[in-house]
Amino acid sequence: MSEIETYRAQARAWLESVAPKYARAARGKLNLSVEEDLALGRQYMAEKYDAGYAGINWKTEIGGQGLSNMHKIAFDAEEMQFGMPNVYFGISLGMPIPILIHYGQDRAWVKERVVKALRGEEIWCQLFSEPSGGSDLAALRTKAEPDGNGWRMTGQKIWTSWAQYCDYGVIVVRTDPTVEKHKGLTYFWVDMKAEGVEVRPIKLAGGDSHVNEVFFDAVRLEDSQRMGEVGGGFGVALHTLMIERYIATDSAGFGPHLDLFVDTARDLTINGKPALKDGRIRSAIARNHAMRAGLDSITKRAFAMMQAGMQPGPEGSLQKLVAVRSRQKLSEMALDLQGNQAFDFDPHAYVKEDWGTSWLNAPTGRIAGGSDEVLLNTIAEKVLGLPQDHRPDKGVPFNAIPA
């Protein structure tokens, strides 16, 4: 058994030992509120940290375990099967903390934050999108103006996941409106409990409210909260999105595994015949399997290359685009197949185990973290070298662009 396999076996053993308290199977019966589930999640993260499974592939000097990406992948693969209450910490540990590790100025303070974030004691959010900006990162309007030896920030962010439970956030703001729009941005971390910060949850089409509007009214930022150069915020933000590309991959498009579709179809008939015998269903299964297998191989190869010290190819940017779009149609089909039985619907069902919530929330997946259209443009321009779209605002100082 390879070292990774041994590690995987140990991880599985530990996960099974805590599963009775934390796994979805156990929590499902309790009908916990989001707050209660989050509290349980914090306990789980602390136990996970103590067991040495937190920050697996991060350096030891900032609180990680100093192991390889392969160890991390092995643990995650096992952990996913239990449905542990860790959804609240995914973004926090996925993007903001790695960025903090990379750009944070006060290293001691950084390490303290990292450990508390790993233990689930603190949660970080990512404050990028704005109402007016949509998918146009460079069009941000939230501004920070020099204020003595620091800054004062005013404006509004939107679509911020879990902000209502966050202690800190990373944010991109405009510090110079007089230069071309993507050049006037700077990146900071912000204390979400600071005076002048207000969080308002947004109710989504599916009925839940894990995303928020966040308002900043003359919030004070020390210059030590700056990450990267003044005017260098656009670059840091792109770096964040790069990380996101590799962290956030799921060939099921964050919906149910294809096996669930097969199980669903296995019990059904179409005009009296077994659904699995029907060419239309077989085609859907086969095409989705082939597509997902391709995405999984792309991910495996990317990590193998990172492991070998190589830079993975840009094909990683296909993951969300392809996977979520097809999840949407597969979920529709899974519902239609069930006929009237599909009407029976639980809005709180887990999106990876239920066709109803998977279908209803799929559009959010096709928009959040870069819409299909933005991803297609990015591939065309950054990967294939095709020209940018026409941009009337190009080269124009931000404060000269008609709103």
The residue within the footprint of a copy of itself, chosen from 62, 281, 302, 368 (CB under 8 A), is 281
The residue type of 21 is K
Which listed residue (12, 116, 152, 301) binds another protein by CB under 8 A? 301
Question: In this structure, are residues 324 and 318 in contact, taking their beta carbons and an 8 Å threshold?
Answer: no
Question: 189-208: which residues touch another protein (CB under 8 A)?
Answer: 202-207
What x-and-dash track marks residues 368-397 binding a copy of itself by CB under 8 A?
A: ---------------------xx-x-----
Token digits for 106? 């006060």
With CB under 5 to 8 Å by kind, the binding choice for 339 among another protein, a copy of itself, none is: another protein
395 lines the binding site for another protein (CB under 8 A): no
Helix (H, G, I), strand (E, B) or coil at 196: coil
The residue from 266, 282, 300, 329 that contacts a copy of itself (CB under 8 A) is: 282
Q: Does 279 bind a copy of itself (CB under 8 A)?
A: yes
Of the residues 35, 60, 305, 399, which one makes contact with another protein according to CB under 8 A: 305
- Our CB check for another protein shows the closer of 59 and 394 to be 394
Q: Is residue 396 part of the contact set for another protein (CB under 8 A)?
A: yes
Least distance from another protein to the Cβ atom of residue 208, Å: 9
Q: What kind and span of H or E run contains 244? A: helix 233-247
Q: Which of 60, 178, 297, 399 binds another protein (CB under 8 A)?
A: 297
Largest CA distance in the chain: 76
SS3 128: coil
Please choose, out of 75-83, 202-210, 222-230, 274-282, the segment that lies near a copy of itself by the rule CB under 8 A: 274-282
CB of 77 or CB of 376, closer to another protein: 376
Does the CA dihedral 159-165-171-177 come out positive or negative?
positive
**What is the rounded distance in angstroms from the CA atom of residue 245 to the CA atom of residue 378?**
12
CA quadruple 88, 94, 100, 101: dihedral sign:
positive
Can you tell me which of 280, 300, 329, 348 binds a copy of itself, judged by CB under 8 A? 280
Cβ neighbourhood burial of 391 (10 Å; 0-12, 13-18, 19+): exposed
Shortest distance, position 152 Cβ to a copy of itself, whole Å: 38
From a copy of itself, another protein, none, which one binds at residue 92 (CB under 5 to 8 Å depending on kind)?
none
Can you read off the two tokens belonging to residue 129?
């999108």
CA angle 211, 25, 18 (to 5 degrees): 95
Residue 149's alpha-carbon distances to 106, 146, 221, 225, in angstroms, are: 17, 7, 9, 12
Q: Per CB under 8 A, which region of 9-17, 66-74, 141-149, 276-284 contacts another protein?
A: 276-284
Which residues make up the interface to a copy of itself (CB under 8 A)?
Answer: 270, 278-283, 389-390, 392
